[in-house]
Amino acid sequence: MPAITFYKHEPIPMEMHKVKIVQQLHLLPTAQRLEKMQQAGFNTFQLHNGDIFLDMLTDSGVNAMSDRQQAAMLQADDAYAGSETFFRMQAKLQELFGIENCLPAHQGRACENILATRFVKPGNCVIMNYHFTTAKAHITRLGGRVEELVKKEGLVSHSGLPFKGNIDLDALESCILKETPSNVPFVRLEAGTNLIGGQPISYTNMKAATAICRKYKILTVLDASLLQDNLYFIKTREEGMQGKSVREITRMIADLFDIIYFSARKFGFARGGAILVRDKKLFHSMEDLIPMFEGFLTYGGMSVKEMEAMTVGFEESMDMDVISQGPQFIDYCVKRLDEYGVPVITPGGGLGAHIDVKEFLPHVPQSEYSAGALSCALYICGGIRGMERGTLSEEREPDGTERIASMELLRLAFPRRVFTLSQTEYVIDRVKWLFDHRQLVGGLEFVHEPATLRFFTGVLKPIGDWPEKLAAAYRADFGDEQ
Protein backbone atom coordinates (compact mmCIF):
# COMPACT_ATOMS: atom_id res chain seq x y z
CA MET A 1 0.00 0.00 0.00
CA PRO A 2 1.73 3.23 -1.10
CA ALA A 3 2.06 6.06 1.39
CA ILE A 4 0.80 9.10 -0.54
CA THR A 5 1.84 12.44 0.93
CA PHE A 6 0.94 15.98 -0.11
CA TYR A 7 3.10 19.03 -0.67
CA LYS A 8 0.61 21.81 0.12
CA HIS A 9 -2.46 19.99 1.45
CA GLU A 10 -3.42 18.34 4.69
CA PRO A 11 -3.39 14.52 4.54
CA ILE A 12 -6.61 13.14 3.08
CA PRO A 13 -7.67 9.63 2.04
CA MET A 14 -7.03 8.88 -1.62
CA GLU A 15 -9.38 6.86 -3.81
CA MET A 16 -7.23 4.04 -5.20
CA HIS A 17 -9.52 3.55 -8.18
CA LYS A 18 -10.99 5.52 -11.05
CA VAL A 19 -14.66 5.85 -11.95
CA LYS A 20 -15.91 4.18 -15.14
CA ILE A 21 -19.69 4.01 -14.58
CA VAL A 22 -21.75 6.58 -12.70
CA GLN A 23 -25.28 6.76 -11.32
CA GLN A 24 -26.94 10.17 -11.17
CA LEU A 25 -28.08 11.42 -7.76
CA HIS A 26 -30.98 13.75 -6.93
CA LEU A 27 -31.43 15.90 -3.83
CA LEU A 28 -35.11 16.47 -3.13
CA PRO A 29 -36.21 19.78 -1.54
CA THR A 30 -36.60 19.73 2.24
CA ALA A 31 -40.41 19.79 2.15
CA GLN A 32 -40.46 16.72 -0.08
CA ARG A 33 -37.98 14.90 2.15
CA LEU A 34 -40.23 15.51 5.15
CA GLU A 35 -43.17 14.17 3.15
CA LYS A 36 -41.22 11.07 2.06
CA MET A 37 -40.21 10.40 5.66
CA GLN A 38 -43.83 10.59 6.76
CA GLN A 39 -44.85 8.19 3.97
CA ALA A 40 -42.08 5.80 5.05
CA GLY A 41 -43.50 5.57 8.56
CA PHE A 42 -40.37 7.18 10.03
CA ASN A 43 -38.38 4.08 9.14
CA THR A 44 -35.42 4.66 6.81
CA PHE A 45 -35.73 1.09 5.50
CA GLN A 46 -39.06 2.05 3.95
CA LEU A 47 -37.70 4.97 1.90
CA HIS A 48 -37.49 4.60 -1.88
CA ASN A 49 -33.92 4.72 -3.12
CA GLY A 50 -34.86 7.26 -5.77
CA ASP A 51 -35.73 9.72 -2.99
CA ILE A 52 -32.31 9.42 -1.31
CA PHE A 53 -29.30 11.63 -2.02
CA LEU A 54 -26.58 9.63 -0.23
CA ASP A 55 -27.49 6.11 0.87
CA MET A 56 -25.46 5.18 3.95
CA LEU A 57 -27.93 2.63 5.30
CA THR A 58 -25.61 -0.33 4.84
CA ASP A 59 -22.54 -1.69 3.11
CA SER A 60 -24.36 -4.95 2.39
CA GLY A 61 -24.79 -5.67 -1.31
CA VAL A 62 -24.22 -2.06 -2.35
CA ASN A 63 -20.44 -2.02 -2.80
CA ALA A 64 -19.03 -1.06 -6.18
CA MET A 65 -17.73 -3.97 -8.26
CA SER A 66 -14.40 -3.78 -10.04
CA ASP A 67 -13.91 -4.10 -13.78
CA ARG A 68 -12.44 -7.56 -13.19
CA GLN A 69 -15.53 -8.65 -11.29
CA GLN A 70 -17.82 -7.42 -14.04
CA ALA A 71 -15.73 -9.25 -16.65
CA ALA A 72 -15.76 -12.48 -14.62
CA MET A 73 -19.56 -12.53 -14.62
CA LEU A 74 -19.51 -13.23 -18.37
CA GLN A 75 -17.99 -16.69 -17.86
CA ALA A 76 -20.64 -17.90 -15.40
CA ASP A 77 -21.76 -21.51 -15.78
CA ASP A 78 -25.44 -21.63 -14.88
CA ALA A 79 -25.81 -25.41 -14.65
CA TYR A 80 -28.26 -26.36 -11.89
CA ALA A 81 -25.88 -29.05 -10.60
CA GLY A 82 -22.12 -29.31 -10.98
CA SER A 83 -21.59 -25.69 -12.00
CA GLU A 84 -17.96 -24.93 -12.85
CA THR A 85 -18.54 -21.50 -11.34
CA PHE A 86 -19.04 -23.12 -7.93
CA PHE A 87 -15.85 -25.12 -8.22
CA ARG A 88 -13.88 -21.99 -9.09
CA MET A 89 -15.32 -20.27 -6.02
CA GLN A 90 -14.65 -23.29 -3.83
CA ALA A 91 -11.04 -23.48 -5.00
CA LYS A 92 -10.41 -19.80 -4.23
CA LEU A 93 -11.92 -20.14 -0.74
CA GLN A 94 -9.83 -23.24 -0.08
CA GLU A 95 -6.72 -21.37 -1.22
CA LEU A 96 -7.38 -18.46 1.14
CA PHE A 97 -8.85 -20.26 4.18
CA GLY A 98 -7.42 -23.77 3.88
CA ILE A 99 -10.85 -25.38 4.19
CA GLU A 100 -12.12 -27.63 1.41
CA ASN A 101 -15.74 -28.14 2.43
CA CYS A 102 -18.00 -25.31 1.25
CA LEU A 103 -21.75 -24.89 1.60
CA PRO A 104 -23.07 -22.01 -0.55
CA ALA A 105 -25.96 -19.86 0.66
CA HIS A 106 -27.62 -16.76 -0.72
CA GLN A 107 -26.32 -14.44 2.05
CA GLY A 108 -25.06 -14.29 5.62
CA ARG A 109 -28.38 -14.68 7.40
CA ALA A 110 -29.05 -17.80 5.35
CA CYS A 111 -25.78 -19.20 6.72
CA GLU A 112 -26.96 -18.31 10.22
CA ASN A 113 -30.21 -20.17 9.61
CA ILE A 114 -28.33 -23.30 8.56
CA LEU A 115 -26.00 -23.15 11.57
CA ALA A 116 -28.78 -22.50 14.07
CA THR A 117 -31.00 -25.23 12.59
CA ARG A 118 -28.16 -27.74 12.77
CA PHE A 119 -26.77 -26.95 16.22
CA VAL A 120 -29.19 -25.00 18.45
CA LYS A 121 -31.70 -26.74 20.72
CA PRO A 122 -34.08 -25.27 23.32
CA GLY A 123 -32.18 -24.05 26.37
CA ASN A 124 -28.82 -23.87 24.60
CA CYS A 125 -26.51 -20.93 25.19
CA VAL A 126 -24.48 -19.53 22.27
CA ILE A 127 -21.59 -17.34 23.42
CA MET A 128 -20.47 -14.37 21.32
CA ASN A 129 -18.23 -11.36 21.61
CA TYR A 130 -21.31 -9.43 20.46
CA HIS A 131 -24.50 -10.39 18.67
CA PHE A 132 -25.73 -9.44 15.23
CA THR A 133 -29.48 -9.01 14.82
CA THR A 134 -30.17 -11.91 12.47
CA ALA A 135 -27.66 -14.24 14.14
CA LYS A 136 -29.43 -13.74 17.46
CA ALA A 137 -32.91 -14.02 15.94
CA HIS A 138 -32.18 -17.43 14.43
CA ILE A 139 -30.89 -18.71 17.78
CA THR A 140 -33.76 -17.37 19.88
CA ARG A 141 -36.46 -18.60 17.48
CA LEU A 142 -35.21 -22.14 18.20
CA GLY A 143 -35.34 -21.66 21.96
CA GLY A 144 -31.70 -20.80 22.48
CA ARG A 145 -30.24 -17.68 24.01
CA VAL A 146 -27.18 -15.53 23.49
CA GLU A 147 -24.51 -14.43 25.97
CA GLU A 148 -22.51 -11.38 24.87
CA LEU A 149 -19.08 -11.23 26.45
CA VAL A 150 -17.33 -8.36 24.73
CA LYS A 151 -14.85 -6.72 27.09
CA LYS A 152 -16.38 -3.83 29.02
CA GLU A 153 -14.13 -1.27 27.36
CA GLY A 154 -15.67 -2.25 24.03
CA LEU A 155 -18.84 -0.46 25.09
CA VAL A 156 -17.03 2.79 25.95
CA SER A 157 -17.83 5.01 22.99
CA HIS A 158 -14.89 7.43 23.07
CA SER A 159 -11.47 5.84 23.52
CA GLY A 160 -8.30 5.00 21.69
CA LEU A 161 -8.36 1.25 22.19
CA PRO A 162 -7.50 -0.48 18.90
CA PHE A 163 -9.52 -3.71 19.36
CA LYS A 164 -12.80 -2.97 21.09
CA GLY A 165 -14.42 -6.11 19.68
CA ASN A 166 -12.30 -8.44 21.84
CA ILE A 167 -14.12 -11.05 23.91
CA ASP A 168 -13.52 -11.16 27.68
CA LEU A 169 -11.47 -14.35 28.03
CA ASP A 170 -12.10 -14.83 31.75
CA ALA A 171 -15.83 -14.32 31.25
CA LEU A 172 -15.76 -16.80 28.35
CA GLU A 173 -14.30 -19.59 30.45
CA SER A 174 -16.56 -18.78 33.39
CA CYS A 175 -19.63 -18.86 31.15
CA ILE A 176 -18.64 -22.24 29.67
CA LEU A 177 -18.22 -23.70 33.16
CA LYS A 178 -21.50 -22.19 34.36
CA GLU A 179 -23.48 -23.46 31.35
CA THR A 180 -21.48 -26.71 31.05
CA PRO A 181 -19.80 -27.40 27.69
CA SER A 182 -22.62 -29.69 26.56
CA ASN A 183 -25.05 -26.75 26.62
CA VAL A 184 -22.87 -24.51 24.46
CA PRO A 185 -23.29 -25.69 20.86
CA PHE A 186 -20.72 -23.20 19.58
CA VAL A 187 -18.91 -19.98 20.35
CA ARG A 188 -19.33 -17.34 17.65
CA LEU A 189 -16.76 -14.59 17.20
CA GLU A 190 -17.64 -11.70 14.93
CA ALA A 191 -14.86 -9.98 13.02
CA GLY A 192 -15.72 -6.28 13.02
CA THR A 193 -18.51 -6.19 15.62
CA ASN A 194 -21.36 -4.62 13.70
CA LEU A 195 -23.57 -3.29 16.48
CA ILE A 196 -20.86 -1.59 18.55
CA GLY A 197 -19.34 0.51 15.82
CA GLY A 198 -17.65 -1.98 13.48
CA GLN A 199 -14.88 -2.40 16.04
CA PRO A 200 -12.30 -5.11 15.27
CA ILE A 201 -11.14 -8.13 17.24
CA SER A 202 -7.42 -8.88 17.45
CA TYR A 203 -5.75 -12.04 16.21
CA THR A 204 -4.28 -12.56 19.68
CA ASN A 205 -7.74 -12.47 21.25
CA MET A 206 -9.17 -14.87 18.66
CA LYS A 207 -6.30 -17.27 19.26
CA ALA A 208 -6.79 -17.24 23.03
CA ALA A 209 -10.58 -17.58 22.80
CA THR A 210 -10.47 -20.53 20.43
CA ALA A 211 -7.86 -22.23 22.64
CA ILE A 212 -10.32 -22.06 25.55
CA CYS A 213 -13.01 -23.57 23.33
CA ARG A 214 -10.73 -26.42 22.26
CA LYS A 215 -9.97 -27.10 25.93
CA TYR A 216 -13.67 -27.75 26.49
CA LYS A 217 -14.29 -29.36 23.07
CA ILE A 218 -16.67 -26.60 21.92
CA LEU A 219 -17.06 -25.70 18.25
CA THR A 220 -15.68 -22.34 17.17
CA VAL A 221 -17.47 -20.26 14.53
CA LEU A 222 -16.16 -17.10 12.85
CA ASP A 223 -18.56 -14.63 11.27
CA ALA A 224 -16.21 -13.30 8.58
CA SER A 225 -18.68 -10.92 6.93
CA LEU A 226 -16.63 -7.87 7.97
CA LEU A 227 -13.34 -9.72 7.81
CA GLN A 228 -11.67 -7.48 5.25
CA ASP A 229 -11.94 -4.41 7.51
CA ASN A 230 -10.72 -6.50 10.44
CA LEU A 231 -7.75 -7.70 8.38
CA TYR A 232 -6.79 -4.09 7.70
CA PHE A 233 -6.90 -3.25 11.41
CA ILE A 234 -4.91 -6.31 12.45
CA LYS A 235 -2.20 -5.50 9.92
CA THR A 236 -2.02 -1.80 10.84
CA ARG A 237 -2.78 -1.87 14.59
CA GLU A 238 -1.66 -5.21 16.06
CA GLU A 239 1.88 -5.64 17.27
CA GLY A 240 3.91 -8.08 15.18
CA MET A 241 1.52 -8.10 12.23
CA GLN A 242 2.88 -5.24 10.12
CA GLY A 243 5.39 -7.50 8.39
CA LYS A 244 2.82 -10.12 7.42
CA SER A 245 0.75 -10.03 4.25
CA VAL A 246 -3.04 -9.86 4.29
CA ARG A 247 -3.08 -13.35 2.81
CA GLU A 248 -0.90 -14.69 5.64
CA ILE A 249 -3.07 -13.08 8.32
CA THR A 250 -6.22 -14.48 6.68
CA ARG A 251 -4.85 -18.01 6.84
CA MET A 252 -3.63 -17.56 10.43
CA ILE A 253 -7.14 -16.55 11.47
CA ALA A 254 -8.83 -19.31 9.49
CA ASP A 255 -6.64 -21.98 11.08
CA LEU A 256 -8.15 -21.13 14.47
CA PHE A 257 -11.77 -21.97 13.62
CA ASP A 258 -13.89 -25.06 12.98
CA ILE A 259 -16.50 -23.19 10.92
CA ILE A 260 -16.31 -19.90 9.02
CA TYR A 261 -19.29 -18.21 7.41
CA PHE A 262 -19.77 -14.89 5.71
CA SER A 263 -22.02 -12.62 3.75
CA ALA A 264 -20.34 -11.88 0.42
CA ARG A 265 -22.50 -8.76 0.29
CA LYS A 266 -19.72 -7.45 2.53
CA PHE A 267 -16.74 -9.81 2.13
CA GLY A 268 -16.34 -10.33 -1.60
CA PHE A 269 -18.20 -7.28 -2.97
CA ALA A 270 -21.07 -9.37 -4.40
CA ARG A 271 -24.42 -10.87 -3.36
CA GLY A 272 -24.08 -14.26 -1.78
CA GLY A 273 -22.56 -16.17 1.10
CA ALA A 274 -21.03 -19.46 2.19
CA ILE A 275 -20.22 -21.71 5.14
CA LEU A 276 -16.80 -23.35 5.32
CA VAL A 277 -16.66 -26.48 7.49
CA ARG A 278 -13.33 -28.01 8.46
CA ASP A 279 -14.54 -31.46 9.55
CA LYS A 280 -15.86 -33.66 6.74
CA LYS A 281 -18.32 -35.53 8.93
CA LEU A 282 -19.73 -32.29 10.30
CA PHE A 283 -19.97 -30.94 6.75
CA HIS A 284 -22.05 -33.96 5.65
CA SER A 285 -24.34 -33.50 8.65
CA MET A 286 -25.21 -30.00 7.39
CA GLU A 287 -25.31 -30.36 3.60
CA ASP A 288 -28.90 -31.61 3.36
CA LEU A 289 -30.08 -28.26 4.79
CA ILE A 290 -28.78 -26.39 1.72
CA PRO A 291 -31.17 -28.00 -0.81
CA MET A 292 -33.97 -27.67 1.76
CA PHE A 293 -33.56 -23.93 2.39
CA GLU A 294 -31.31 -22.52 -0.33
CA GLY A 295 -30.83 -24.48 -3.55
CA PHE A 296 -28.62 -27.22 -4.89
CA LEU A 297 -25.14 -27.64 -3.40
CA THR A 298 -23.41 -25.94 -6.31
CA TYR A 299 -25.41 -22.73 -6.37
CA GLY A 300 -27.02 -22.37 -2.93
CA GLY A 301 -29.68 -19.88 -3.97
CA MET A 302 -27.21 -17.51 -5.60
CA SER A 303 -26.93 -16.19 -9.11
CA VAL A 304 -23.88 -17.87 -10.62
CA LYS A 305 -22.86 -14.52 -12.09
CA GLU A 306 -22.61 -13.19 -8.56
CA MET A 307 -20.56 -16.25 -7.60
CA GLU A 308 -18.03 -15.46 -10.32
CA ALA A 309 -17.85 -11.86 -9.09
CA MET A 310 -17.42 -13.09 -5.50
CA THR A 311 -14.49 -15.27 -6.50
CA VAL A 312 -12.65 -12.27 -7.91
CA GLY A 313 -13.74 -10.20 -4.92
CA PHE A 314 -12.16 -12.65 -2.49
CA GLU A 315 -8.83 -12.22 -4.24
CA GLU A 316 -9.20 -8.43 -4.31
CA SER A 317 -9.79 -8.54 -0.54
CA MET A 318 -6.19 -9.70 -0.14
CA ASP A 319 -4.95 -6.35 -1.54
CA MET A 320 -4.27 -3.59 1.00
CA ASP A 321 -4.95 -0.92 -1.65
CA VAL A 322 -8.49 -2.33 -1.86
CA ILE A 323 -9.33 -3.05 1.77
CA SER A 324 -7.81 0.18 3.09
CA GLN A 325 -10.36 2.38 1.31
CA GLY A 326 -13.30 1.87 3.66
CA PRO A 327 -11.37 2.24 6.94
CA GLN A 328 -9.50 5.31 5.70
CA PHE A 329 -12.64 7.18 4.62
CA ILE A 330 -14.42 6.18 7.83
CA ASP A 331 -11.46 7.34 9.91
CA TYR A 332 -11.45 10.69 8.10
CA CYS A 333 -15.17 11.17 8.72
CA VAL A 334 -14.87 10.16 12.39
CA LYS A 335 -11.94 12.49 13.05
CA ARG A 336 -13.65 15.46 11.40
CA LEU A 337 -16.86 14.90 13.34
CA ASP A 338 -14.88 14.46 16.55
CA GLU A 339 -13.10 17.77 15.92
CA TYR A 340 -16.52 19.41 15.57
CA GLY A 341 -17.53 18.05 18.96
CA VAL A 342 -20.00 15.52 17.54
CA PRO A 343 -20.07 12.39 19.77
CA VAL A 344 -18.80 9.50 17.64
CA ILE A 345 -17.39 6.05 18.32
CA THR A 346 -13.60 6.24 18.39
CA PRO A 347 -11.33 5.04 17.09
CA GLY A 348 -12.93 4.75 13.67
CA GLY A 349 -13.81 1.15 12.94
CA GLY A 350 -14.93 -0.67 9.83
CA LEU A 351 -18.30 -0.61 8.10
CA GLY A 352 -19.13 3.04 8.82
CA ALA A 353 -18.93 6.07 11.08
CA HIS A 354 -21.09 5.65 14.17
CA ILE A 355 -22.71 8.49 16.11
CA ASP A 356 -23.23 7.98 19.85
CA VAL A 357 -26.88 8.96 20.10
CA LYS A 358 -27.07 8.80 23.89
CA GLU A 359 -24.67 11.75 23.93
CA PHE A 360 -26.04 13.40 20.77
CA LEU A 361 -29.67 13.36 22.00
CA PRO A 362 -29.50 13.08 25.81
CA HIS A 363 -32.99 14.59 26.07
CA VAL A 364 -34.59 11.72 24.09
CA PRO A 365 -34.90 8.48 26.09
CA GLN A 366 -33.82 5.25 24.43
CA SER A 367 -37.34 3.93 24.97
CA GLU A 368 -38.41 6.53 22.40
CA TYR A 369 -35.95 5.06 19.87
CA SER A 370 -33.58 8.01 19.82
CA ALA A 371 -31.22 6.50 17.22
CA GLY A 372 -34.16 5.81 14.93
CA ALA A 373 -35.33 9.39 15.39
CA LEU A 374 -31.87 10.74 14.57
CA SER A 375 -31.73 8.67 11.39
CA CYS A 376 -35.03 10.24 10.30
CA ALA A 377 -33.78 13.72 11.20
CA LEU A 378 -30.64 13.29 9.11
CA TYR A 379 -32.70 12.32 6.06
CA ILE A 380 -34.90 15.38 6.52
CA CYS A 381 -31.78 17.55 6.93
CA GLY A 382 -29.71 16.48 3.95
CA GLY A 383 -31.27 13.52 2.16
CA ILE A 384 -28.80 11.14 3.83
CA ARG A 385 -30.09 7.69 4.78
CA GLY A 386 -28.35 6.17 7.79
CA MET A 387 -29.31 3.18 9.92
CA GLU A 388 -30.39 2.90 13.52
CA ARG A 389 -28.32 0.47 15.57
CA GLY A 390 -29.77 0.56 19.06
CA THR A 391 -32.96 -0.16 20.96
CA LEU A 392 -35.12 -0.26 17.84
CA SER A 393 -32.89 -3.07 16.55
CA GLU A 394 -33.46 -5.10 19.72
CA GLU A 395 -36.46 -7.32 20.40
CA ARG A 396 -38.72 -7.06 23.42
CA GLU A 397 -38.23 -9.23 26.49
CA PRO A 398 -40.57 -12.26 26.77
CA ASP A 399 -42.77 -10.26 29.17
CA GLY A 400 -43.19 -7.49 26.60
CA THR A 401 -40.94 -4.91 28.25
CA GLU A 402 -38.47 -2.98 26.14
CA ARG A 403 -34.91 -4.28 25.99
CA ILE A 404 -32.71 -1.18 26.11
CA ALA A 405 -29.61 -1.50 23.93
CA SER A 406 -26.20 -1.16 25.57
CA MET A 407 -25.20 1.24 22.79
CA GLU A 408 -27.52 3.59 20.90
CA LEU A 409 -25.91 4.35 17.55
CA LEU A 410 -26.65 5.96 14.21
CA ARG A 411 -24.56 4.17 11.61
CA LEU A 412 -23.40 5.99 8.51
CA ALA A 413 -22.17 3.10 6.41
CA PHE A 414 -19.49 3.58 3.77
CA PRO A 415 -20.14 1.14 0.91
CA ARG A 416 -16.76 0.26 -0.52
CA ARG A 417 -15.55 2.23 -3.54
CA VAL A 418 -18.82 4.21 -3.78
CA PHE A 419 -18.51 7.65 -2.16
CA THR A 420 -16.04 10.44 -2.92
CA LEU A 421 -14.34 12.74 -0.45
CA SER A 422 -16.61 15.67 -1.40
CA GLN A 423 -19.67 13.55 -0.61
CA THR A 424 -18.08 12.62 2.71
CA GLU A 425 -17.55 16.33 3.44
CA TYR A 426 -21.24 16.98 2.73
CA VAL A 427 -22.23 14.31 5.24
CA ILE A 428 -19.92 15.79 7.87
CA ASP A 429 -21.37 19.26 7.27
CA ARG A 430 -25.00 18.14 7.62
CA VAL A 431 -24.30 16.08 10.74
CA LYS A 432 -22.64 19.11 12.31
CA TRP A 433 -25.66 21.30 11.50
CA LEU A 434 -27.95 18.70 13.02
CA PHE A 435 -25.79 18.49 16.14
CA ASP A 436 -26.02 22.25 16.58
CA HIS A 437 -29.83 21.98 16.34
CA ARG A 438 -30.19 18.72 18.25
CA GLN A 439 -32.71 20.11 20.74
CA LEU A 440 -35.26 20.16 17.92
CA VAL A 441 -35.18 16.35 17.56
CA GLY A 442 -37.72 14.31 19.54
CA GLY A 443 -38.66 10.66 19.89
CA LEU A 444 -40.69 8.03 18.04
CA GLU A 445 -43.32 5.47 18.95
CA PHE A 446 -44.64 2.41 17.15
CA VAL A 447 -47.78 2.35 15.06
CA HIS A 448 -47.10 -1.16 13.74
CA GLU A 449 -44.54 -3.32 15.58
CA PRO A 450 -43.54 -6.71 14.12
CA ALA A 451 -42.58 -9.36 16.66
CA THR A 452 -39.23 -10.15 15.04
CA LEU A 453 -36.65 -7.89 13.38
CA ARG A 454 -39.02 -4.99 13.83
CA PHE A 455 -36.54 -2.41 12.55
CA PHE A 456 -36.94 -3.71 9.00
CA THR A 457 -40.69 -3.30 8.51
CA GLY A 458 -42.03 -1.46 11.56
CA VAL A 459 -44.09 1.71 11.17
CA LEU A 460 -43.52 4.57 13.60
CA LYS A 461 -44.69 8.12 14.20
CA PRO A 462 -43.05 11.11 15.86
CA ILE A 463 -43.93 12.09 19.40
CA GLY A 464 -45.07 15.65 18.79
CA ASP A 465 -44.40 17.85 15.76
CA TRP A 466 -40.62 17.94 15.96
CA PRO A 467 -40.04 16.87 12.31
CA GLU A 468 -41.94 19.93 11.04
CA LYS A 469 -40.05 22.26 13.38
CA LEU A 470 -36.72 20.71 12.36
CA ALA A 471 -37.51 21.08 8.65
CA ALA A 472 -38.51 24.71 9.17
CA ALA A 473 -35.22 25.49 10.93
CA TYR A 474 -33.28 23.75 8.15
CA ARG A 475 -35.09 25.71 5.43
CA ALA A 476 -34.41 28.93 7.30
CA ASP A 477 -30.66 28.27 7.04
CA PHE A 478 -30.41 26.61 3.62
CA GLY A 479 -33.50 27.63 1.64
CA ASP A 480 -36.46 25.67 0.36
CA GLU A 481 -34.55 23.76 -2.32
CA GLN A 482 -31.90 22.34 0.01
Within 16-96, strands assigned E span 54-55
3 state SS of 459: strand
Q: Which of 44, 133, 134, 193 is catalytic?
A: 133
Reduced to 3 states (helix: H, G, I; strand: E, B; else coil), residue 113 is helix
Amino acid at 97: F
d(CA 72, CA 286): 30
Catalytic residue among 67, 80, 452, 456: 80
**One of 136, 389, 411, 417 is an active-site residue; which one?**
389
Residue 278 appears among annotated catalytic residues: no
CA atoms within 13 A on the CB side of 84: 5
Query: What is the rounded CA–CA span in Å between residue 276 and residue 259?
Result: 6
Q: How many helices (H) and strands (E) does the chain have?
A: 19, 14
| Catalytic status, residue 266 | yes
Burial 318-346 (b: 16+ CB within 10 A, else e): bebebbbbbbbbbbbbbbbbbeeebbbbb
* 340: annotated active-site residue: no
For 180-208, what is the HEC assignment?
CHHHCCEEEEECCEHHHCCECCCHHHHHH
Spatial contact of 256 and 189, defined as CB atoms under 8 Å apart: no
Contact 269, 416 (CB under 8 A): yes
Query: Does 36 qualify as catalytic in the annotation?
Result: no
Sheet holding 259-263, edge to edge: 101-105, 273-277, 259-263, 219-223, 186-190, 125-128, 145-148
Instruction: Select which of 97, 132, 267, 419 is catalytic.
Output: 132
265 is catalytic: no
- Choose the catalytic residue: 55, 223, 229, 356: 223
Decide if 455 is catalytic: yes
Catalytic pick among 86, 130, 455, 474: 455
Determine whether 193 is an active site residue.
Answer: no
What are residue 118's phi and psi, to 5 degrees?
-75, -35
**Region at 417 (left for phi over 0; alpha for psi -120 to 50; beta for the rest):** left
24 Cβ neighbours under 8 A, 6+ residues apart: none
Among the listed residues 266, 278, 358, 411, the single catalytic one is 266
Q: Which residues sit opposite 55 in a β-bridge?
A: 385
The upper half-sphere exposure of residue 164, i.e. CA atoms within 13 Å in the direction of its Cβ, equals 23
Catalytic residues: 80, 132-133, 223, 266, 389, 455
